[in-house]
Structure 1
Amino acid sequence: MTKILITGASGFVGKNLVVELRNQGYSDLFLFNRSNSMEQLEEFTKHCDFVFHLAGVNRPEKEEEFMEGNLNLTSKLLELLKKNNNSSPILITSSIQAEKDNAYGKSKKAGEELLFNYSRETGTEAFVYRLPNLFGKWSKPNYNTVVATYCYNIARDIEIQVNNPEAELKLAYIDDVLEEFVKALKRIPSKTGDYCEIPVVHSVKLGELVNTIKAFKESRKTLNVPNMGDSLTKKLYSTYLSFLPKDNFSYDLKMNIDNRGSFTEFLRTPDRGQVSVNISKPGITKGNHWHHTKNEKFLVVSGEGLIRFRNIDSDKVIEYRVSGETLEVVDIPTGYTHSIVNVGEMDLVTIMWVNESFDPTKPDTTFLEV
Structure 2
Amino acid sequence: MQEVAMTGARGFLGWHTRAALRELGAKSHAIPVGDGFDAAKALSAVNGSARLIHIAGVNRGSDLDVQDENVRFATQVASSILQADTPPPVVVFANSTQATNGSVYGNAKAEAAGILQAAAAKVGAEFLDVCLPNLFGEHGRPFYNAVTATFSHLLAHGQSPTVADDKPLTLMHAQDAADLLIGSSGDTLGGDKEVHESVAGLLARLTEIDSIYRCGEIPDVAGKFERDLFNTYRSYAFPEQAPVKLTRHSDERGSFFEIIRSHGGCGQSSFSTTEPGISRGDHFHRRKIERFTVLAGTATISLRKLFTDEVFEFHVLGDEPVAVDMPTMWSHKITNTGPGLLYTSFWTNDIFNPEVPDTIAEAVQK
Smaller-chain TM-score bracket:
0.5 to 0.7
CA shift digits 1:150-203 (9 cap, x unpaired): 1111111234231244x211111122222223326xxx8645xxxx77861111
1:95-114 correspondence runs (5 A): 95-114=96-115
Structure 2 gap ranges (5+): 267-294, 297-344, 346-366
Is the 8 Å Cα contact of residues 5 and 29 (structure 2) preserved in structure 1?
yes
Q: CA separation of 1:21/1:221 partners in 2, compared to 1, >3 Å: closer, same or farther?
A: closer
Q: In the TM superposition, what is the alpha-carbon distance from 1:127 to its structure 2 partner?
A: 0.3
1:170-181 correspondence runs (5 A): 170-181=170-181
Task: Please name the residue that 1:20 is paired with.
Answer: 20
Is the 8 Å Cα contact of residues 10 and 33 (structure 1) preserved in structure 2?
no
CA shift digits 1:280-312 (9 cap, x unpaired): xxxxxxxxxxxxxxxxxxxxx78xxxxxxxxxx
1:179-190 correspondence runs (5 A): 179-183=179-183, 190=187
Task: Please name the residue that 1:214 is paired with.
Answer: 207
1:1-370 correspondence runs (5 A): 1-27=1-27, 29-33=28-32, 35=36, 37-60=38-61, 62-88=62-88, 89-165=90-166, 167-183=167-183, 190=187, 200-220=193-213, 225-252=218-245, 267-268=260-261
Which letter maps to 2:30?
L
Which one has a bigger Cα radius of gyration? 1
Q: In the TM superposition, what is the alpha-carbon distance from 1:233 to its structure 2 partner?
A: 0.9
Q: In the TM superposition, what is the alpha-carbon distance from 1:248 to its structure 2 partner?
A: 2.4
Which letter maps to 2:53?
F
Q: Distance in 2 between matches of 1:198 and 1:53?
A: 24
Which letter maps to 1:44?
A
Q: Distance in 1 between matches of 2:148 and 2:77?
A: 31
Give the TM-score taking structure 2 as reference length: 0.63
Structure 1 gap ranges (5+): 274-300, 303-350, 352-370
Question: Which structure carries more relative contact order (alpha carbon 8 Å, separation 6+)?
Answer: 2
CA shift digits 1:251-280 (9 cap, x unpaired): 44566777877766665566789xxxxxxx
Which letter maps to 1:30?
H
SS of residue matched to 1:115: helix
Give the TM-score taking structure 1 as reference length: 0.63
Which letter maps to 1:172?
M
Q: In the TM superposition, what is the alpha-carbon distance from 1:119 to its structure 2 partner?
A: 4.1
User: Alignment length, in residue pairs?
Assistant: 267
SS of residue matched to 2:30: strand
The answer to which of 247-256 and 109-118 deviates more is 247-256
Q: In the TM superposition, what is the alpha-carbon distance from 1:104 to its structure 2 partner?
A: 1.2
Give the RMSD, CA atoms, in angstroms. Answer: 3.2
